[in-house]
Amino acid sequence: MPKFERHIFVCCNQRPEGHPRGCCDPTAQAQLQLAFKQKLSALGLKHKVRANKSGCLDQCEHGPNVVVYPDAVWYGRVTAADVDEIIESHILGGKPVERLIIPDSCLNAASCPHRAPKPARSEDLPNASSPLQVIGTRGTSD
Separation CA 14–CA 3 (nearest Å) = 30
Average pLDDT over every residue of 19-39: 87
Average pLDDT over every residue of 49-64: 90
Separation CA 21–CA 116 (nearest Å) = 8
- Mean of the per-residue pLDDT values for the chain? 82
pLDDT digits (tens, 9 = 90+) for 89-122: 999 999 999 999 999 988 888 777 776 554 444 4
Separation CA 142–CA 139 (nearest Å) = 9
Tell me what pLDDT residue 1 has: 67
Q: How confident is the model at residue 2 (pLDDT cuts 50, 70, 90)?
A: confident
Query: Is 49:63 a contact under the CB 8 Å cutoff?
Result: no
Where exactly are the structural domains of the chain?
A: 6-116
Q: How confident is the model at residue 33 (pLDDT cuts 50, 70, 90)?
A: very high
Task: Flag whether pLDDT at 130 surpasses 90.
Answer: no
Q: Which helix (DSSP H) or strand (DSSP E) does residue 39 occupy?
A: helix 31-42
3-state secondary structure at position 62: helix
Separation CA 54–CA 33 (nearest Å) = 9
Q: What is the DSSP annotation of 95-128?
A: ---GGGBPPGGGTT-TT-TTSPPPPPPGGGSTTT
Pick the CATH number of 6-116 from 3.40.50.1980, 3.40.50.1110, 3.40.30.10, 3.40.50.10190: 3.40.30.10
- Quote the DSSP letter at residue 60: G
Tell me what pLDDT residue 134 has: 40
pTM confidence score: 0.76
pLDDT digits (tens, 9 = 90+) for 63-72: 899 999 999 9
Question: Over pLDDT 70: what percentage of the chain?
Answer: 79
